[in-house]
A and B are shown apart, each in its own frame.
Chain A
């Protein structure tokens, strides 16, 4: 890693980007004042932290471009033990997060096209196709991601990430480090903990080689502690939504979860959630809700339909229905308490192995049942996405169980995370409207 590159990175981090983003913020502020666009009648006061979030995430993406050559860059899956990489000063980029951004900007199909031309089936996960498309020359709306020096993959969210990262490893000719987390269908057994902890310890040697740094256990423990605090803070943020009216919606949470996914273990993420938590608590005190009139409270299951985020938000909000909880956003807080910095490897096995998608449907049912109670939920909407089999396969049975055992209204919609070709607007809208009517 060259000294010049490092100096360039430091310049952009400490001076270049703050100035650039400051100017950008000012321009947007002026533009908003000039436009004087009125918020929709149903919307409560906006969350002010949104501007800070935009700045943090823009910095993260823009800085990534300057990180290449200055420090090792790792592409990691969302459920990876990123704390270990942070201890080695490795810059992390989350292709899934990038996939979500592409979906939200409605360029999923264009981004996937080069992958499909290279022979990857349209039946594959659309996040993977976007990412492989990027490797094959697709133009990202956030510019090019920095070329990775290594890949870190964890199988706790799905096996798909491994098949996908295997292709990236071959394409970029870089090492693929794997943290394999066996599926847990009951309690976490000792031999499973030892398998996971053993793998984490084995990651140290290649990371030392790639980063040129010696493993510093004290630093690692500090990062683990900070990651734990950040995830717990995110949990607190989600808990504020138990209030009536809810100070934010799940659609807001989908956006505000970006730091806990992408920047977990860094001070900037922790600070952000401290600020967001303060704001949301203030909103609760003032009675400021995400909706002016909150009539129904809903639970969302699965990843967002990113290309329909705004439209779904409006569609539900116009009927006074607000998504107040989601299994997806909860996943980054659910196991945070299991982290123990005095025993980082074994405790990480629990924290990473026991996440929702790595467990059986009984666990998911019990978790959702608790969320239904804690968040005073009136109905559940399940997004059956072609791109995520571990999240989607089993939803039909879960839905029936919610109706039969809890008497709660449940709707399953068929769509995709980023690929609108797997989404039928008319039938979906009709089903949503019928569901909303049934809540009244």
Chain B
């Protein structure tokens, strides 16, 4: 099912659709209220009108997201802006206050002080406040029962993601990188229940397929898997064995959950606070390095590619340390930078080829 079909099917069933800008948010709360989160990471339209609102030094994720809103192509019932970074913070207020969009606009703050005792209560309360704010649109409150069900659905989807990532890391997955991410990124527009079913079916069908023995296995880190970049990797028989993508691998729980049960909103908060380390949550650089090295080790990857979206400040700050840390562990790495949906220049491909030859 594609994005448009998913939205149409949900709307037909009298459900509401939320356009969700990049970041971390309590999707269980939205789903419990019958709202389908449809994420806006890399819309295809190049920015034209957005240039009147955003400086050229703003990343293409924000530029393209705003373009979608300005072209009235975001056919949704509300907009949610997780507080991913300074740019997304201001994008929220540009859309709500400057453009004055008629759609309800909400923001969800990403806690940076994740280790503080006050964080869990804050995230839980913030989730409750978001639920209250969405109630007029949803037409009903977010009851604990419905939230508990949504949490179970989301957990099933998380299990599916963990399963498919494990299969790929273990070499039990055969398929192109483009196909893998086309499937995984259905999370951006399918309900958790539908996603779990899709992933489980894909895993069942793909398990026995042999993997190309001559491929190069790499871990890729960055904001999101860009199709044109994945095509380059596929052409070179590079298998992305694991990823540290902000949009993918850093957004589902990989740790085990606590044994003692918590109330539903606290459960949602706990899971938010225990997602993999990320530049945008200001995880200590040591934690990020440990996570990436763990991905390299368990997937038996030969190196790490950092593919950054130009002007992404949180990512840029972490790169020097991560590269240095990997070097000390004798894990080869390289940084590549481009805009979204950009036709990669020869220099980009040459750098990639040089890295592949080196490893």
Interface residues of A (CB under 8 A from B): 118-121, 123-125, 128, 155, 158-160, 162-164, 166-167, 169-170, 178-180, 182-183, 185, 189, 191-192, 194-195, 198-199, 202, 360-362, 365, 384, 386, 389-390, 392-394, 396-398, 401, 414
A308 to chain B: closest CB distance in Å? 19
Q: A123-B316, A159-B85, A396-B54 known; 16 other A-B pairs, CB under 8 Å?
A: A119-B319, A119-B324, A120-B320, A159-B280, A159-B282, A160-B86, A163-B282, A166-B282, A166-B317, A170-B321, A194-B122, A195-B122, A361-B97, A393-B94, A397-B53, A401-B98
Q: Would A159 and B316 count as touching, CB distance under 8 A?
A: no
Q: Can you report 18 A-B residue pairs in the complex whose CB atoms are below 8 A from each other?
A: A120-B317, A121-B319, A160-B313, A163-B318, A166-B285, A166-B317, A167-B320, A170-B321, A178-B116, A180-B113, A182-B126, A183-B89, A195-B122, A360-B92, A360-B97, A361-B97, A384-B55, A389-B90
A67 to chain B: closest CB distance in Å? 27
Q: Would A386 and B57 count as touching, CB distance under 8 A?
A: yes
B333 to chain A: closest CB distance in Å? 11
Q: Would A393 and B86 count as touching, CB distance under 8 A?
A: yes
Residues of the B chain whose Cβ atoms lie less than 8 Å from the Cβ of A124: 313, 316-317
B279 within 8 A of A: yes
Residues of the B chain whose Cβ atoms lie less than 8 Å from the Cβ of A166: 282, 284-285, 317
Known: A183-B109, A361-B97. A120 touches B316 (CB 8 A): yes
Q: What CA separation (Å) do A121 and B55 show in the bound complex?
A: 18
Q: Would B112 and A162 count as touching, CB distance under 8 A?
A: yes
Q: What CA separation (Å) do A167 and B86 show in the bound complex?
A: 18
Residues of the B chain whose Cβ atoms lie less than 8 Å from the Cβ of A195: 111, 118-119, 121-122
**Nearest opposing residue in chain A for B91, CB measure:** A393
Q: Would A163 and B122 count as touching, CB distance under 8 A?
A: no
Q: Would A397 and B98 count as touching, CB distance under 8 A?
A: yes
Sort A-B residue pairs by CB-CB distance and give the 6 closest, nearest first: A198-B118, A119-B320, A397-B98, A191-B125, A195-B122, A163-B317
Cross-interface CB contact of A360 among B83, B93, B126, B284, cutoff 8 Å: B93
Q: Would B116 and A202 count as touching, CB distance under 8 A?
A: yes
A-contact 0/1 string along B58-96, CB 8 Å cutoff: 100000000000000000000000010111011111101
Residues of the B chain whose Cβ atoms lie less than 8 Å from the Cβ of A182: 83, 109, 111, 122, 126
Q: Would B113 and A163 count as touching, CB distance under 8 A?
A: no
Q: What CA separation (Å) do A250 and B248 show in the bound complex?
A: 47
Q: Would A394 and B86 count as touching, CB distance under 8 A?
A: no
A407 to chain B: closest CB distance in Å? 18
Q: Would B117 and A202 count as touching, CB distance under 8 A?
A: yes
Q: Would B117 and A180 count as touching, CB distance under 8 A?
A: no
Q: How many B residues face the partner with a CB closer than 8 A? A: 52
B52 within 8 A of A: yes
Residues of the A chain whose Cβ atoms lie less than 8 Å from the Cβ of B318: 163
Residues of the A chain whose Cβ atoms lie less than 8 Å from the Cβ of B90: 361, 389-390, 393-394
Residues of the A chain whose Cβ atoms lie less than 8 Å from the Cβ of B116: 178, 180, 198-199, 202
Q: What CA separation (Å) do A417 and B323 show in the bound complex?
A: 28
Q: Would B98 and A398 count as touching, CB distance under 8 A?
A: yes
Residues of the A chain whose Cβ atoms lie less than 8 Å from the Cβ of B89: 183, 390
Residue among A160, A183, A398 with the most chain B CB within 10 A?
A: A183
Q: Would A170 and B316 count as touching, CB distance under 8 A?
A: no
Residues of the B chain whose Cβ atoms lie less than 8 Å from the Cβ of A394: 53, 90, 93-94, 98
B353 within 8 A of A: no
Residues of the A chain whose Cβ atoms lie less than 8 Å from the Cβ of B54: 393, 396
Residue among A121, A155, A384 with the most chain B CB within 10 A?
A: A121
Residues of the B chain whose Cβ atoms lie less than 8 Å from the Cβ of A120: 316-317, 320
Q: Would B285 and A185 count as touching, CB distance under 8 A?
A: no
Residue among A118, A198, A397, A414 with the most chain B CB within 10 A?
A: A397
Residues of the A chain whose Cβ atoms lie less than 8 Å from the Cβ of B99: 397
Interface set, chain B 246-299, CB cutoff 8 A to A = 279-280, 282, 284-286
Q: Would B93 and A178 count as touching, CB distance under 8 A?
A: no
Q: Would B87 and A393 count as touching, CB distance under 8 A?
A: yes
Cross-interface CB contact of A362 among B85, B93, B117, cutoff 8 Å: B93
Interface set, chain B 298-323, CB cutoff 8 A to A = 310-311, 313-314, 316-321, 323
Interface set, chain B 116-156, CB cutoff 8 A to A = 116-119, 121-122, 125-126, 129
Q: Would B321 and A185 count as touching, CB distance under 8 A?
A: no
**Nearest opposing residue in chain B for A159, CB measure:** B86
Q: What CA separation (Å) do A233 and B52 show in the bound complex?
A: 39
B107 within 8 A of A: yes
Q: Would A162 and B94 count as touching, CB distance under 8 A?
A: no
Q: Would A189 and B93 count as touching, CB distance under 8 A?
A: no
**Nearest opposing residue in chain B for A185, CB measure:** B107
**Nearest opposing residue in chain B for A198, CB measure:** B118
Q: What CA separation (Å) do A182 and B130 show in the bound complex?
A: 14
**Nearest opposing residue in chain B for A189, CB measure:** B129
A411 to chain B: closest CB distance in Å? 15
B216 to chain A: closest CB distance in Å? 24
**Nearest opposing residue in chain B for A165, CB measure:** B282
Q: What CA separation (Å) do A191 and B124 show in the bound complex?
A: 9
Q: What CA separation (Å) do A361 and B90 show in the bound complex?
A: 8
A312 to chain B: closest CB distance in Å? 20
Cross-interface CB contact of B122 among A119, A155, A160, A191, cutoff 8 Å: A191
Q: What CA separation (Å) do A202 and B121 show in the bound complex?
A: 15
Q: Would B94 and A389 count as touching, CB distance under 8 A?
A: no
A152 to chain B: closest CB distance in Å? 12
A414 to chain B: closest CB distance in Å? 7
Q: Would A393 and B98 count as touching, CB distance under 8 A?
A: no
Q: What CA separation (Å) do A132 and B126 show in the bound complex?
A: 35
Q: What CA separation (Å) do A167 and B279 show in the bound complex?
A: 12
